[in-house]
Amino acid sequence: MSNENGTEKKSRGWLKWIVVLGSGILIGAAVAVVFIMVKTGNKKQKSVLKSDVKSESDVISSTDEDIVTENVSSSMKVTSSDVSDIAESVLPAVVSIDCVIESSYSDMFDDMFGYGYGFGYNTPRTYETTASGTGFIIGQNGDELLIATNNHVVEDANKVSVEFVDGKTALATVKGTDSAYDVAVISVDISDIDSDTLGKIKIATIGDSDIVKVGDMSIAIGNSLGYGQSVTVGHISALEREVKTEDNKTMTLMQTDTIINHGNSGGPLLNIYGEVIGITSAKYGTSSSGKAEGMCFAIPITKVVPIINELMNRVELSPSEVGYLGIDGKEVNDSYSKAFSMPKGLYIYSVDKDSAAYKAGLKSGDIITSIDGRAISTMEELKNILSYKKYDTEIEIIYSTMGNSGYEDKKIKVKLGKKSVFDKSGSN
């Protein structure tokens, strides 16, 4: 009898341990599942960078009723061996751009000798050339679909057309350009886009180029050589590369070994989450000129977000409405900057009395470095900025002025004035 009781107690003891062990396994599994869900959720959240490119009325929000496109999902992450998912997701936000440029020339006999000889040689002749590039959809502003690209893609174009992901085309209008940063925004009337196409296109997600690291994977999508959209993959090779442009200006660009051919210009350079981190440009690449292989460049997107925002919302003004600052100046280029230890910018050598600049305290010798977040160094750039700023508009100017220990940076708010119709000076 006692043996039976002992056996029964031992059995109960084993059952107790089995129950405890089973409970521990279940609790541990539950904790592990919760931990994985939390970590996965956090990682996914970090990968999503909301677009900074938006209009003043926030019309790019996907909750607005008039939005006909959806944003590209950037919650995915791809491996270096598989970019098909990211390409499939972003391609609807990419467009091919075709431009027609009309040029003119005089007959060669007239150019050489200065005479027409009465045979009509002096008659100007025109001809058309075509150029191709790439752009990406950044949003909608009222009844317009907005697309970002390079300035040099649409510069001097008489006709611009875009081709969407489904092969349908539509005419586009150049809404605004900035030659200094080589960016442009073109627009397509929503009414000119086929309803089926509207259901297939998407808005690109803008990333943060400031957090990009050397070695990060990069993906370029573009209308390579005008043959249509293609995808190339590589890595970020260098950051903050100073590259000389054809007009002897210096641009600070990202360097990548991702292949960027002619026709890719204006297209998106993406990170592994499908976010735009740069605007590709074959113009600054060196592989095509034979100087080096695998050195291609892109404009860091974060640096041009303020410019794109402004270009998206530009409104044409009449000459009488254009704001007036009241200065005349000269560029401080790289050579002057290094030779005289001066900051690069627009050197003021005269200020009109009672002008907006005069009232704000700007004086001869000051160097304007930026206006409303846009770097500036020439009078042409100043004129371009002010041409879309109405008088009485307040702008923010960052400038350098000579202090006791060299140049000091200052920031001021300036309310633009109105230029007199009798003022024939070259100041702006």
Active site residues: 152, 182, 265
Q: Please report which helix (H) or strand (E) contains residue 46, including its range.
A: helix 2-47
The widest CA-to-CA distance across the chain, in whole angstroms, is 138
Give the pair of three-digit tokens for residue 101. 């440029």
Fill in the amino acid letter for 409. D
Distance between CA 136 and CA 96 in Å, rounded? 9
Which residue intervals of 267-378 are DSSP H helices? Answer: 301-312, 334-340, 356-360
Fill in the amino acid letter for 424. K
Q: C-alpha angle 31/37/42, rounded to 5°?
A: 125
Sign of CA dihedral 357, 358, 364, 365: negative
Residue with tokens 């900057």: 337
Residue 390's DSSP bridge partners are: 322
Residues 6 or more apart whose CB falls under 8 angstroms from that of 213 comprise: 236, 239
Per the CB < 8 A criterion, the answer to whether 100 and 157 are in contact is: yes
Fill in the amino acid letter for 265. S
Give the pair of three-digit tokens for residue 240. 């903050």
| Closest to 128 in 3D by CA, of 169, 152, 153, 157 | 157
Per the CB < 8 A criterion, the answer to whether 102 and 158 are in contact is: yes
DSSP string over 203-225: EPPB--GGG--TT-EEEEEEEGG
| Measured distance between the N- and C-terminal CA atoms of the chain, rounded to whole angstroms | 112
